[in-house]
Amino acid sequence: MAETRSALWQDYTWPELQALAEAGAAVIVPVGAIEQHGPHLPVSVDSTCVYEVARHAAQAVTEFPVLVAPPVWWGVSPHHMGFAGTITLSTDTFIAVVSDICRSIGQHGFRRILILNGHGGNASVVNVIAQRLSEQKPPLWVAAATYFTMIAQDLQAIGESDFGGMSHACEMETSLMLALRPDLVHLDRAEDDMRGPWTSFFGWDMRVGGTVYYAYDMKRDTNQGVIGAPSLATTEKGQRILAAATTHVASFLREYQAMPV
């Protein structure tokens, strides 16, 4: 039986990583957050989910090696600080940390790096990181994506909640955690909190993004840190969400690998 290779950066020695760089391996840098997710989910949701999506996508690609770097657990979460357990980085610190990680990876000869984000508060910032890295001398070209944005159409088919049901600690995130870490989900504590958009330009739902950004405050704007319908979450939906995210990220990696560096 052939030995299954690890996708995890931390499982290799330095000579093995050097050989993987020379072989043209791609690297996923998962970035998440440690922040409140209502009374029914752990504060690790964003980091856990993005790391597992990255790991599954890396294993789904068999044509070339893909490595998953250790996750960046902390993100830009000041809008969650009103609830206990949230640990936030400033925007500048987050940019500096993720940029340094990518520079280190690039310095070792890896030329295809994907910053894969799993937290809404990081979404615009990872794009800024990719832009800034391209402006340095010599430039480092990296890609940046938020996995749940990549699967918005899939979420439209999977979700049963009305608009606003897939936002935070919601039908989507609760379902995905039921598929990944059911031991950490407390559905008996889940309470729906549906929020309509304040304007037609600002959306609360992962399935239909808004066109205008607004820096909201979860303590002020929610009852218990939830926006959405966790009551509609199921393990089966979580498995479908994981499969969709795996497929989309893996597909991008294949196309990314074909791009000239």
pTM score over 0.85: yes
Residue 73: count of CB within 10 angstroms of its CB: 18
The pLDDT of residue 202 is 82
The pLDDT of residue 213 is 81
**Pick from 179, 60, 66, 71: which is nearest to 122 by CA?**
71
The pLDDT of residue 210 is 74
The pLDDT of residue 123 is 96
- What are the backbone dihedrals phi and psi of residue 189, each rounded to the nearest 5 degrees, phi first? -100, -5
Residue 41's DSSP bridge partners are 37
* Mean per-residue pLDDT pooled into runs of 10, the chain (261 residues): 74 98 98 98 98 98 98 98 98 98 98 98 97 96 97 98 96 98 98 87 85 87 96 98 98 96 76
The CATH number that domain 9-258 falls under is 3.40.50.10310
CA–CA dist 212, 200 (Å, integer)? 9
The pLDDT of residue 2 is 39
The single-letter DSSP state of residue 65 is -
The pLDDT of residue 43 is 98
